[in-house]
């Protein structure tokens, strides 16, 4: 009996656990990337004990890959040498870690996955417990195969209704961030459910779990169902069957009920994710760069939305429009289906896969006093380069519509044609 | 005794150390750029034993351990904040950077105040105003990690099961 996180933890612990308890759990996978692995290696070497199970360790190159400078290259070299020395089976160089984790079949319902990246919450969209930790704890888990957790209280977000044309999961999640604030769910599990979520495809569900980090949540969970099972069968090596873990007579700390049909396109405005406004209030504001990509909105369907909106048109001549597919699987599908041709013909720049400009190291860095509209999940000062630049967060449709004008633009102006 | 450096609520890890500096893991190198955008006078003037004062949700944002490492590397004795973001809390405990939680202290200490902190008892004295505060007690297993000086030291002589 319990909330979804209590049920997942109870299954793993082999006994019934409840909010407030401290539990030591076996983890299924331990994820880290080129930015966080070097510190994990340092911690591992200082502990001085052998790896518990190599099959649990999954390394990725995505934050600064291919290396934009000598220091990044040195990090990559160090990680490759470590992986060779320890004979580690998994080192991926094919896109944003969270997307590749899902594509490669590491994320399954009920799994416990820790990652040295704050957006490891992403895995919650498939009914797995995913949470971000620091590098030292990743090194600890390499040695022990375990991690400690305080079983969190749960905020249930019950979403009903259907979104209006031009409104996406991103708009709904930005709206929720505005309601709860950036510390509104600190230490909590956020459980997303209701009729809207039940009918939502996986690429949209992922937006909620991914951005639960931005309201401080430990994890952002969606109960696995038929949509999850079909998604896994069609897109990953995982066949199933899966045990569907659901909340059972849950005791929620708080329930938030939202009718999504009342929500219009939203923006997270400079300089915090919870600085939320209706797009209409800021329509016409000039932007210097449009950035479409990341673990939040760099998926095939996001690129498809942009391509459909930009087909046969030209983006604003002075605005830089950059598209970074989240993974090579997405890149290949977009290429095969002609989406990249459409975007390039419209004047967009397509980059290689990975985290790109979202980490402010390469692939679209901002100059002082510039403004970007992006599909990222975070708009902190200095995130994309200059601390004097402004970052606004929106859906891929809003980003594409704004690319045409070089100003913040309501996508409904184009989608209704 | 150390000087207080006061920071605002919801201080994020990009503000503690911007992503572009996280290419190194050297504490001294990271310390050169700690708070460089929001408090550029900190890094050149901080003295060993100074104290960081924060508001709610201190250290929110990215999971980067570079943030507490940069603070520890700068010589700060501890952080006193109203509350912490969850990954930052774990990271600070794991690397052996003492963190104290006290809303009253966070509100009752201003930049430049002289602060005396007893880490074992959690007693905080503001010598500039004469006020005293008591930090929230930490859970027993966190104290085990803290007393060992961090999780790495703990695991060198214990197993992970010894935490609970």
Which of B160, B127, B56 lies closest to A216 in space, CA to CA? B56
Cβ distance A146 to B160 less than 8 Å, yes or no, reads yes
Q: What is the mean pLDDT of residues A285-300?
A: 98
Condensed to tens digits (0 to 9), the pLDDT of residues A334-343 reads 999 999 999 9
Closest Cβ opposite residue B63 in set A116, A359, A387: A116
Query: CA of B129 to nearest chain A CA: how many angstroms apart?
Result: 30
The CA radius of gyration of chain A, in Å to the nearest whole number, is: 21
The structural domains of chain A, ordered by start, are 4-259 (3.30.499.10), 268-415 (3.30.499.10)
Q: A5 to each of A35, A107, A151, A207, A218, how far by Cα in Å? A: 28, 16, 8, 19, 10
Question: Which ipTM value was assigned to this complex?
Answer: 0.85
Q: Which B-chain residues 64-123 have CB contacts (< 8 A) with chain A?
A: 64-66, 68-69, 83, 85-87, 90-91, 94-95
Q: What is the mean pLDDT of residues B124-151?
A: 93
Cβ distance A183 to B83 less than 8 Å, yes or no, reads yes
Residue A416 has pLDDT above 80, yes or no: no
Condensed to tens digits (0 to 9), the pLDDT of residues B48-77 reads 999 999 999 999 998 889 999 999 999 999
A147: β partners: A25
- Beta-carbon contacts of A135 under 8 Å, excluding residues fewer than 6 positions away, are A32, A36, A37, A38, A39, A40, A42, A43, A116, B65
Q: Mutation test of the interface with chain A: which of B14, B24, B63, B141, choosing the one with the most A Cβ atoms within 10 A?
A: B63
Beta A276-278 vs A266-268: how paired, if at all?
antiparallel
Indicate the average pLDDT of chain A. 97
Contact (CB, 8 A) for A130 and A113: yes
For residue B14, the chain A residues in CB contact (below 8 A) are 380-383
Tokens, residue A331? 């890149």
Residue B138 sits at the chain A interface (C-beta within 8 Å)? no
Residue A218 has pLDDT above 90, yes or no: yes
Contact (CB, 8 A) for B45 and A386: no
Contact (CB, 8 A) for B135 and B124: yes
Residue A352 has pLDDT above 60, yes or no: yes
Neighbour count for residue A247 (Cβ, 10 Å): 21
Residue environment code for A291-316, b if the CB has 16+ CB neighbours within 10 A, otherwise e: bbbbbbbbbbebbbbbbebbeeeebb
Cβ distance B57 to A186 less than 8 Å, yes or no, reads yes
Q: What is the mean pLDDT of residues A283-309?
A: 98
Closest Cβ opposite residue B152 in set A136, A148, A216: A136
Confidence of residue B31 (pLDDT cuts 50, 70, 90): very high
The CA radius of gyration of chain B, in Å to the nearest whole number, is: 15
Query: CA of B18 to nearest chain A CA: how many angstroms apart?
Result: 7
**Helices then strands (H, E): number in chain A?**
16, 18
Neighbour count for residue A267 (Cβ, 10 Å): 26
The structural domains of chain B, ordered by start, are 2-136 (3.20.19.10)
Closest Cβ opposite residue B164 in set A24, A120, A186: A24
């Amino acid at each position: 009996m319990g909330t979804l996180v209590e049920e997942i933890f109870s299954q793993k612990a082999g006994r019934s656990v409840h909010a407030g308890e401290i539990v030591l759990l076996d983890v299924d996978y331990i994820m880290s990337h080129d930015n966080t692995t070097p510190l994990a290696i340092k911690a591992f070497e200082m502990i001085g004990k052998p790896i518990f199970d190599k099959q649990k360790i999954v390394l990725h190159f995505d934050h600064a890959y291919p290396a934009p400078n000598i220091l990044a290259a040195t990090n990559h070299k160090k990680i490759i040498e470590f992986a060779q020395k320890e004979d580690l089976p998994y080192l991926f160089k094919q896109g944003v870690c969270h997307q590749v984790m899902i594509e490669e079949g590491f994320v399954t319902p009920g799994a416990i996955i820790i990652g040295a990246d704050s957006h490891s919450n992403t895995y919650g969209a498939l009914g797995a417990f995913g949470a971000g930790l620091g590098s030292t704890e990743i090194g600890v888990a390499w040695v022990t195969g375990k991690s400690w957790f305080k079983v969190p209280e749960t905020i249930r977000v019950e979403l009903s209704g259907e979104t209006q044309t031009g409104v996406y999961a991103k708009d709904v999640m930005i709206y929720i961030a505005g309601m709860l604030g950036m510390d509104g769910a600190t230490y909590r599990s956020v459980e997303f459910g209701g009729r809207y979520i039940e009918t939502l495809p996986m690429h949209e569900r992922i937006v909620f779990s991914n951005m639960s980090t931005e309201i401080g949540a430990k994890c952002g969970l969606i109960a696995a169902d038929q949509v999850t099972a079909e998604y896994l069968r069609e897109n990953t090596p995982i066949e199933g069957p899966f045990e569907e873990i659901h909340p059972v007579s849950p005791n929620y700390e708080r329930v938030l009920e939202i009718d999504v049909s009342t929500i219009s396109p939203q923006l997270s405005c400079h300089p915090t994710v919870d600085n939320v406004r209706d797009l209409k209030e800021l329509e016409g504001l000039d932007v210097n760069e449009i950035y479409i990509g990341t673990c939040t909105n760099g998926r095939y369907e996001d690129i498809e939305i942009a391509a459909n909106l930009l087909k046969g048109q030209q983006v604003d001549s002075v605005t830089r429009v950059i598209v970074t597919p989240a993974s090579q699987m997405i890149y290949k599908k977009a290429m095969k289906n002609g989406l990249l041709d459409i975007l390039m013909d419209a004047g967009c720049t397509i980059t290689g896969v990975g985290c790109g400009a979202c980490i402010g190291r390469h692939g679209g860095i901002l100059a002082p006093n510039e403004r970007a509209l992006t599909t990222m999940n975070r708009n902190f000062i200095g995130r994309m380069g200059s601390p004097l630049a402004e970052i606004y967060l929106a859906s891929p449709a809003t980003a594409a519509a704004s690319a045409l004008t070089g100003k913040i633009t309501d996508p409904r102006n184009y989608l209704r044609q | 005794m150390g000087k207080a450096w006061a920071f605002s609520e919801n201080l994020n890890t990009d503000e503690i150390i911007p992503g572009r500096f996280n290419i190194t893991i050297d504490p001294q190198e990271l310390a050169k750029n700690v708070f460089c955008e929001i408090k550029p006078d900190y890094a050149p003037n901080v003295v060993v034993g100074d104290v960081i004062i924060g508001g709610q949700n201190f250290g929110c944002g990215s999971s980067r351990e570079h943030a507490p490492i940069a603070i520890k590397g700068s010589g700060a004795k501890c952080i006193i904040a109203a509350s912490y973001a969850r990954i930052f809390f774990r990271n600070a405990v794991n690397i052996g950077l003492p963190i104290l939680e006290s809303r009253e202290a966070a509100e009752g200490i201003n930049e430049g105040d002289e602060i005396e902190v007893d880490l074992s008892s959690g007693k905080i004295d503001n010598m500039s105003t004469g006020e005293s505060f008591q930090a929230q007690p930490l859970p027993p297993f966190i104290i085990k990690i803290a007393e060992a000086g961090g999780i790495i030291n703990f695991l060198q002589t214990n197993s992970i099961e010894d935490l609970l």
